[in-house]
Structure 1
Amino acid sequence: MEDPRKSMKPHPWLYAFVFVTGAAVMTLEMAASRFAAPFFGTSQIVWANIIGLIMIALSLGYWLGGRLADRYPRWHLLFAAVGMAGLLACAIPWTGPWVFHQLQAGITGTPIHIIVFSFFGILIMFAPPVFLLATVSPFVLRLSGRDVSDLGKVAGALYAWSTVGSIAGTFVTAFVLIPRLGTHMTIVLTSGALIVSAAMGLTAVSPRRWWWSWLLLLVPLVTALGGPRAVKPVQGLLFETETEYQYVQVAALSDGSTALIYNEGGGVQSLRRPGDALVPRDYYSYMTLLPYLSGNPSSDRMEGVVIGAAGGTILHLIDHYDQGSFPGLRLEGVEIDPVVAKLGPRYFGLNPARTPIRVADGRAFVTASQHTWDFAVVDAYSQQIYIPFHLATKEFFSILADHLTTRGVMAFNVNAVSPDSPLLLSLLKTVQEVFPHFVVIRVPDSYNYLVIAGRSPLPTEALRALGMGRSPVSSIAREALAHLWRPTPEQLKRAVVLTDDRAPVEYLTDSMIWDVAGRGISP
């Protein structure tokens, strides 16, 4: 390759160089979210830390790179910076889990700790290589644009190729690298590409002096051959993987239960207790009441759907406890993550022949379905803490209502820190626009509020009759009647109706998180 120092205009190889570095920046940014997820989750707050810190690192890199390029306009400094960025990136899979684990140990349950410690985790592990990569653009421009008459053309071409690299890095990382290789190997591959680019540049500048730079490739090579390290060891781990949507673990708990855990493990998505026991503090248990509230007096045929089925806990409990009273009961679930949808039969007692789970987006599934259900459960969460806004709007509830029988009911699980939560009240006000009759069960010792709503008056007398019995479901019926709650008209007046055009679910959730952090609210 021709020595780039001898050219007044950028050598064509430099366009490939800035392409690679531009791609690496976006790959590291996207990998950061996946790397942090098992420890801190993927909430908007964590994403804000990632994007904000990457932007800060880029800004500082541009600024310092420009100053250094003017003071020390040397090609070897540019290539050395990229090589160092590659080495720092390669260190992430090895040292990152330890660093993030130490930071996670400081989380004491309040969201403010997640905000602070995820900030420092990203700052320590991902900001340094991005900072070094940001020095590339000003350095290349300073060293290539010696003829000021075409400086604009040179700058435009360099920034265009860098941006095209970032675009390629975004799509290739999201659709190819992470799904096929995983986060760790994606970072190692990025490290290798940076080290190769740096070594090519250094040996072009001075083959005798910089030949050894190729030996740096041994670092990512050894890392790759060593295989991925355990991301987040969990006692009793039965299964773990990284899906297109989240980091997933299944673990055996000390009390004999089996739990499905996403990302940082702030909540349990599915739970199978020993003997499939019904427990009052588990909101899943109250779902066994839905067949009795559906208004369908016939036990010969009854259909229900669970949107956000996860590992199938709700499906399994309804099937297990209600099939005797409703022999015609037919259930199906909807889960967007195909990997999670397969875990129910393996770990959570689900019978796929009796309670199949369809892989689809919940709203798209309901819209396209030809079924009419007697009851529907909406228990979908995105990024662990956010209700997907398109499953919480007046338009969605209208679509769902069209797929329910005349006396059918809809159950919606809401996480809220208090009865005054704007998120809870806004959801109730929105539900009331479509389903004028509703009750709310305030699940004891938890943040869960179970909203059960219908277009016809709910047969709560069925719960009272059920509560007279001695079965496990009767016990849950008594608990439900003891924990009924209803908002006042004044509370609902302050709430907003959520629509497809305006549904600030994330804002309402984040506000609630800050409220917890500020006041230390406990369930």
Structure 2
Amino acid sequence: MKPHPWLYAFVFVTGAAVMTLEMAASRFAAPFFGTSQIVWANIIGLIMIALSLGYWLGGRLADRYPRWHLLFAAVGMAGLLACAIPWTGPWVFHQLQAGITGTPIHIIVFSFFGILIMFAPPVFLLATVSPFVLRLSGRDVSDLGKVAGALYAWSTVGSIAGTFVTAFVLIPRLGTHMTIVLTSGALIVSAAMGLTAVSPRRWWWSWLLLLVPLVTALGGPRAVKPVQGLLFETETEYQYVQVAALPDGSTALIYNEGGGVQSLRRPGDALVPRDYYSYMTLLPYLSGNPSSDRMEGVVIGAAGGTILHLIDHYDQGSFPGLRLEGVEIDPVVAKLGPRYFGLNPARTPIRVADGRAFVTASQHTWDFAVVDAYSQQIYIPFHLATKEFFSTLADHLTTRGVMAFNVNAVSPDSPLLLSLLKTVQEVFPHFVVIRVPDSYNYLVIAGRSPLPTEALRALGMGRSPVSSIAREALAHLWRPTPEQLKRGMVLTDDRAPVEYLTDSMIWDVAGRGISP
């Protein structure tokens, strides 16, 4: 028996809906739990569990109750559950997020339950479609294989379409909430068409269910994750972004779940010892360039431009020839610096590009370079942490130029930190590490020539804000022992398990309760 052509469209829609919900789940969870590999593992794992259980139960129900209306009712229910996500999801995720501050293990546990509660049920119901349709369409076993192949092919094509359309069209243009609502509407329409085809008089009212996504859509956009003092909020191609005014008068740029601040402007542009940004103002003094007439620096991973602004604000007087530029991969974030963080775009422009691609293509030679890029909130992009990248960067520095690299590590014995230091040392034999007080930040400053730390001592004798930071830096200098460095590995383009090293560190924090 050949299935009705409409059924191919039906399984196409349900297949697309599964992948749309999976893609939307990552964006929906990002403001609360981030987009780390751990969160992605929960999303993919739970979706696969829901699909497996749905296939299993769908097959059993199809054999026991081979009724078309049960199939279409399951899809309609999946549509209603999906439509509930924009309404109830923020509240559920907010409640689960309440206890995660400073405890990474909770991100693993609570993101698991958040996805389980909100996204697994509709995917589970959608998974019952394939065995039901196959059972109801394949009564003639002589062509059952052909029927099964065609149905699964159309379902898979729908999943492919759902993946690309969601990633490249729906979420960028409509946002996560409206993408989910649109998916809900498509499922309810498909279910209503099927139910009224089975029995128009009995199931005519199923079309009224469209009022649910319609009302949700007309309700308009709501704050994804309301915060006190919210100044700006949007979803970008790369992340969920908020700018907020903090109670102390500072302005903060926050990504995803808000586990860390990406850019910060304090009242009066104050330099604070626990802010690793503050120590970047020392780089012009360590660059080995005695001339104040011409000096160039670059910040890779500029975000809102805090580092650019502080160096420009505090060092321009001592180095009037200072020229700065930043590199930021997210075009939306690159525009926030002048608006919220005091950045002067004429003096400190930010280029929109991938950091490594920018360095490779650049014709500039810099006196100092800052690498402060993070992907998915907690991971250093591996291609910005390898021996090959540092070699390329070194080729774009002056002979006595320096490179500064910010590393988040829970302790001096962190394999991630030691591996990065061992890798840096392969290219820059001279380096110092500043352990930023009251934080997990380690600032690595490295060069191919000996670093003029005497310049810091001379600077520390002064009374300026930068002099105070110089004294803090000298008080918190640290250098690993040769035995410690042996425990690290040289990261290369071929093998750089940055994500694994970071995840191991998170589990270490969870197990030992380490505090900065």
Q: Under a length normalisation based on structure 1, what TM-score does the superposition of the two structures give?
A: 0.98
Deviations 1:100-128 (A, max 9, x none): 11111132421111111111100000000
Deviation at 1:40, TM superposition (A): 0.6
Deviations 1:345-401 (A, max 9, x none): 000000000000000000000001010000000000001100000000000000000
CA contact (8 A) 1:311 1:343 kept: yes
CA contact (8 A) 2:23 2:166 kept: yes
SS in structure 2 of the partner of residue 79 of structure 1: helix
Deviations 1:279-301 (A, max 9, x none): 00000000000000001111000
Deviation at 1:58, TM superposition (A): 0.2
State the distance in 2 between where 1:507 and 1:103 align: 25
Deviation at 1:168, TM superposition (A): 0.3
Partner residue, 1:4: none
Deviation at 1:231, TM superposition (A): 1.3
Deviations 1:132-166 (A, max 9, x none): 00000000000111111111111000000000000
State the distance in 2 between where 1:386 and 1:440 align: 20
State the distance in 1 between where 2:50 and 2:338 align: 46
CA contact (8 A) 2:274 2:439 kept: yes
CA contact (8 A) 1:39 1:264 kept: yes
CA contact (8 A) 1:93 1:228 kept: no
SS in structure 2 of the partner of residue 501 of structure 1: coil
State the distance in 2 between where 1:97 and 1:112 align: 21
State the distance in 2 between where 1:117 and 1:230 align: 21
State the distance in 1 between where 2:46 and 2:515 align: 31
Partner residue, 2:159: 166
CA contact (8 A) 2:365 2:397 kept: yes
CA contact (8 A) 1:39 1:104 kept: yes
Deviation at 1:184, TM superposition (A): 0.1
State the distance in 1 between where 2:32 and 2:444 align: 31
Partner residue, 2:306: 313
Deviations 1:61-89 (A, max 9, x none): 00000000000001110000000000000
State the distance in 1 between where 2:22 and 2:426 align: 41
Task: Indicate yes or no: 2:381 matched with 1:381.
Answer: no
Deviation at 1:230, TM superposition (A): 1.9
Deviations 1:177-200 (A, max 9, x none): 000000000000000000000011
CA contact (8 A) 2:410 2:505 kept: yes
Deviation at 1:229, TM superposition (A): 2.2
State the distance in 2 between where 1:222 and 1:123 align: 25
State the distance in 1 between where 2:222 and 2:136 align: 41
State the distance in 2 between where 1:369 and 1:289 align: 24
CA contact (8 A) 2:408 2:440 kept: yes
SS in structure 1 of the partner of residue 358 of structure 2: helix
State the distance in 1 between where 2:349 and 2:101 align: 38
SS in structure 2 of the partner of residue 438 of structure 1: strand
CA contact (8 A) 1:22 1:166 kept: yes
State the distance in 2 between where 1:106 and 1:76 align: 43
Partner residue, 1:263: 256
State the distance in 2 between where 1:70 and 1:288 align: 71
Deviation at 1:25, TM superposition (A): 0.2
CA contact (8 A) 1:243 1:337 kept: yes
Judge which range, 103-112 or 501-510, deviates more. 103-112
Deviation at 1:498, TM superposition (A): 0.3
CA contact (8 A) 1:94 1:229 kept: no
State the distance in 2 between where 1:228 and 1:32 align: 17
State the distance in 2 between where 1:475 and 1:494 align: 34
User: Over aligned residue pairs, what C-alpha RMSD do you find?
Assistant: 0.6
Partner residue, 1:244: 237
1:119-518 correspondence to structure 2 within 5 Å = 119-518=112-511
Deviation at 1:277, TM superposition (A): 0.4
State the distance in 1 between where 2:367 and 2:341 align: 24
CA contact (8 A) 2:185 2:213 kept: yes
State the distance in 1 between where 2:279 and 2:130 align: 59
Deviation at 1:208, TM superposition (A): 1.0
Deviations 1:230-289 (A, max 9, x none): 211111111111111111111111111100001111000000000000000000000000
Deviation at 1:450, TM superposition (A): 0.2
Deviation at 1:206, TM superposition (A): 0.8
SS in structure 2 of the partner of residue 499 of structure 1: coil
State the distance in 2 between where 1:231 and 1:309 align: 25
SS in structure 1 of the partner of residue 403 of structure 2: strand
CA contact (8 A) 2:101 2:259 kept: no
CA contact (8 A) 1:316 1:355 kept: yes
Gaps of 5+ in 1: 1-7
Judge which range, 246-255 or 184-193, deviates more. 246-255
State the distance in 2 between where 1:227 and 1:36 align: 20
State the distance in 1 between where 2:385 and 2:311 align: 24
CA contact (8 A) 1:33 1:50 kept: yes
SS in structure 1 of the partner of residue 431 of structure 2: strand
State the distance in 2 between where 1:192 and 1:113 align: 34
CA contact (8 A) 2:11 2:130 kept: yes
Judge which range, 397-406 or 229-238, deviates more. 229-238
Partner residue, 2:3: 10
State the distance in 2 between where 1:497 and 1:193 align: 51
Judge which range, 183-192 or 40-49, deviates more. 40-49
State the distance in 2 between where 1:75 and 1:176 align: 33
State the distance in 2 between where 1:177 and 1:383 align: 21
SS in structure 2 of the partner of residue 466 of structure 1: helix
State the distance in 2 between where 1:219 and 1:448 align: 48
Deviations 1:429-450 (A, max 9, x none): 0000000000000000000000
State the distance in 2 between where 1:92 and 1:229 align: 13
SS in structure 2 of the partner of residue 418 of structure 1: coil
Deviation at 1:228, TM superposition (A): 2.1
The 3 A distance-change label for structure 1 pair 254 and 480 is: same
Deviation at 1:9, TM superposition (A): 1.6
Deviation at 1:518, TM superposition (A): 0.3
Identity %: 99
State the distance in 2 between where 1:117 and 1:239 align: 26
State the distance in 1 between where 2:151 and 2:221 align: 35
State the distance in 1 between where 2:362 and 2:227 align: 39
Partner residue, 2:58: 65
SS in structure 1 of the partner of residue 323 of structure 2: strand
